[in-house]
Amino acid sequence: MAKSSVSTTNACKLCRPLGACLAFRGIEGSMVLLHGSQGCSTYMRRYISGHFREPVDIASSALSETQAVYGGAANLKQGIRNVVAKYAPAVLGVATTCLTETIGDNIGMIIAELLEEEPELREIEIIPVSTPSYSGSHMDGFRDSCIAILERLAVPREKTGAINLFPGFISAADIRHLKEIMEDFKTPGIILPDISQTLDGVIDGGYRRIPPGGTSMPAIARTARSACSIEFNVVSPASQSAAALLESRHDIPGERLPIPIGIRNCDLFFQTLAKVTLQPVPARYKEERGRLLDAMVDAHKYLFGKKAVVYGDADFVLALTSFLIDVGVSPVVCATGDGNREFISRISQTAAVAGIQPLILKDTDFDEISERARETGSELLIGSSKGNHIARRLGIPLLRVGYPIHDRIGGQRLLHIGYRGTMNLLDQLTNMLIAREQDELGYGYSYM
């Protein structure tokens, strides 16, 4: 169901250009410039940096009143020149904002003009993305940017045996785990975008204008030659699917899977990998799976029938719902600030396995999630740190996962995916409930 209010209270989504900033951050040697007023880039830097605790430089064309009236072309050109002079990026993403979309700046044309004026800028891949903040969410901006990057940089030639992995927006630790899995399957994998280093860097005493890491341009070029693509995205339309793009343009078969969280989704992912790599599932993962099953059995009584509220980005909520169903928790409210009909039908199907009919909220806000959580007598929340207010108000615990986590450290290092990530979530979830029960019992039981 969609929310009943005209207004939005405590948004459960972020705006479209923020997604562009995140996606470009996963490209090697890249930088983003937002074409709009100064505030947008500052807010997004703070919002991203607050979760990852990394420097996040996002440039702005810093439009003021005159440009808002007469057009921002000169500022955009100057902005690009300055960014190139000081950051020397290999790839420069230029994303619009609500302001420049509304005044009707054609950024593609402005960039083309600039390249005419200064041909040496052609050495840099300047990639425009349209991200009007008044439509869709940050996940639309994220996916549209991936599409724009592939459209520009994927170059077909003779086929390789590599696998493309389009993970969507998951944690830096998740991406590192994916790399490890590909290595164990003895198959080259191309992960796009790859934020594992760029948003979870090391300290070596230096401030890097552009941090090392990210998917390299040659690797992006090779995506059009891979044996197949796997994408963790089942909710978006084909126009926003990287796998669908490569399939239609370059005949690369694509598999769109749910994010591998929970044993059911993980099995699907590992079976798919085995199928496309023609490799057996490595022994290590069979063992991890066995250990996860063992942990699920150990935990089952603490979890059974507990009523949970899950919220966040559509694909992430879908995966978490599946995980909860696997372990016997009852997701009674599944909510996203964005979402579409596909989201609703996927959640229904997933929950139907356990005979549960959760309340499914799309295009919702935290005010409504809070109300529904209260009405359904929910006992726990799973999602970003923005559920903190609901947890306090209702006196129920919150398991912080996904993005953003602004009130704890280590959000970028949270492992959610694979058997190992699922085990991590399972332990945290179970211990959160055990700790609560221990507190509530008051006796101070030494064995729980």
Partner 1 sequence: MTTHKIETKTYRVRRNREEEEMARVEPNHMGIDIISGREGHICRKADDVKPGITGNPQRAKRAAITRGIDDASISCDTDSVAGAVSQRACVFCGARVVINPIADALHLIHGPIGCSAYTWDIRGSLSSGTELHRLSFSTDLRERDVIFGGEQKLEAALLELIARHEPQGAFVYSTCIVGIIGDDLKAVCARVAEATGIPVIPVQSEGFRGNKNAGYKAACEALFKLIGRDREGEPVPLSINILGDFNLAGEIWIIRDYLRRMGIGVVANISGDSRVADVARAHTASLNVVQCSGSMTHLAKMMQAEYGIPFIRVSWLGTEDMSRSLIQIASFFENPSIKARTEELIGEELAAVEPKLEFYRRRLAGKKAAVYVGGAFKAISLIKSFRAIGMTVAVVGSQTGKQHDYEEIRREADPGTVIIDDANPLELAQLIDTLEIDIFVGGVKERPVAYKLGVAFCDHNHERKKPLEGFTGMLNFAQEVHSSIASPVWLWIPRGEAAGRDTAWSKAAREEAAREEGTREVRHG
CB of 340 to partner 1, least distance (A): 14
Measured CA to CA, the distance from residue 368 to residue 376 in angstroms comes to 12
Roughly what angle, to the nearest 10 degrees, separates helices 314-327 and 418-441? 70
- Would you list the DSSP string of 401-439? -SS---SSS-GGG---SHHHHHHHHHHHHHHHHHHHHHH
Residue (337 or 358) nearer to partner 1, CB: 337
Q: Are strands 254-257 and 189-191 parallel, antiparallel or unpaired?
A: unpaired
Residue (127 or 308) nearer to partner 1, CB: 127
Residue (10 or 187) nearer to partner 1, CB: 10
Measured CA to CA, the distance from residue 441 to residue 448 in angstroms comes to 11
User: Which among 66, 81, 52, 343 has a CA at the least distance from the CA of 172?
Assistant: 52
Inter-residue contact 84 to 121 (CB < 8 Å): yes
- Would you list the DSSP string of 31-68? EEEEES-HHHHHHHHHHHHHHH-S---EEE----HHHH
Residue (263 or 390) nearer to partner 1, CB: 390
- Can you say whether the dihedral through the CA atoms of 228, 234, 239, 241 is positive or negative? negative
Residue (106 or 216) nearer to partner 1, CB: 216
Inter-residue contact 357 to 348 (CB < 8 Å): yes
Residue (28 or 326) nearer to partner 1, CB: 28
CB of 391 to partner 1, least distance (A): 14
Residue (86 or 249) nearer to partner 1, CB: 86
CB of 127 to partner 1, least distance (A): 13
Q: Which amino acid is at 282?
A: P
CB of 200 to partner 1, least distance (A): 11
Tokens, residue 206: 């230096």
Tokens, residue 60: 């702005």
Residues 6+ apart with CB under 8 A from 44: 17, 18, 21, 34, 56, 58
Residue (15 or 299) nearer to partner 1, CB: 15
CB of 52 to partner 1, least distance (A): 8
CB of 148 to partner 1, least distance (A): 15
CB of 124 to partner 1, least distance (A): 8
Measured CA to CA, the distance from residue 81 to residue 84 in angstroms comes to 5
Residue (301 or 408) nearer to partner 1, CB: 408
Inter-residue contact 125 to 1 (CB < 8 Å): no
User: Which among 181, 413, 428 has a CA at the least distance from the CA of 286?
Assistant: 181
Residue (41 or 321) nearer to partner 1, CB: 41
CB of 246 to partner 1, least distance (A): 16
CB of 358 to partner 1, least distance (A): 24
